[in-house]
Amino acid sequence: MAEYLARRFAGPLVASAGTHAIAGRGMHPKAMRSLAEVGVDASSFRSRTLTSKLVTDASLILTATREQRAECIRLAPRQLGRVFTLRQLERLVEATDLHRDTSGTSVDGVLEAVTAVRGNVQPVPTSHDEIVDPLHGTLDDMRACMRMIQRSLESVLTVIKLP
């Protein structure tokens, strides 16, 4: 869901991969239905497995959980400063002045800004930085997850100036 919601802001620059994904699978029907309800057609989605090359080649990596973040760093340790949970980056962006610049900031500029404020941001419980997987929940759980992802992506992606 995050990939397709992020594409509303960044278009084809966004890609996703799963730490436990089986390559080539379609999206879960509840996720597809939730996206369709907000006008997003995800019928072309096919899963792919996360690799070290995907992590290494990315300018910014956003995960749903800290465990996924740790896996990305394990695959490409030099990308440490470019890997965040989505909600973690949202908190850090909110602690900067980035929203005041309506023209946007490059990914590297955003990373510099959040690095500068990171030490001043209070730690939070794990649950504040994670997006719980609603896969085995109800359609309403999936919709709630989608709304959380959407809010966080809007906060983060509106400050990034895309090429």
What is the distance between the alpha carbons of residues 10 and 135, in angstroms, rounded to a whole number?
25
Per-residue pLDDT at 144 exceeds 90:
yes
- Residues 40 and 8: beta-carbon distance below 8 Å: yes
Over range 106-129, report the average pLDDT. 92
What is the distance between the alpha carbons of residues 91 and 26, in angstroms, rounded to a whole number?
31
What is the distance between the alpha carbons of residues 15 and 4, in angstroms, rounded to a whole number?
9
Per-residue pLDDT at 102 exceeds 90:
no
Domains defined along the chain, listed by start: 2-157 (3.40.50.2300)
Please tell me the pTM assigned to this model: 0.93
What is the distance between the alpha carbons of residues 126 and 108, in angstroms, rounded to a whole number?
26
Helices (H), 11-106: 29-37, 52-57, 66-75, 86-94
The pLDDT mean for the chain works out to: 94
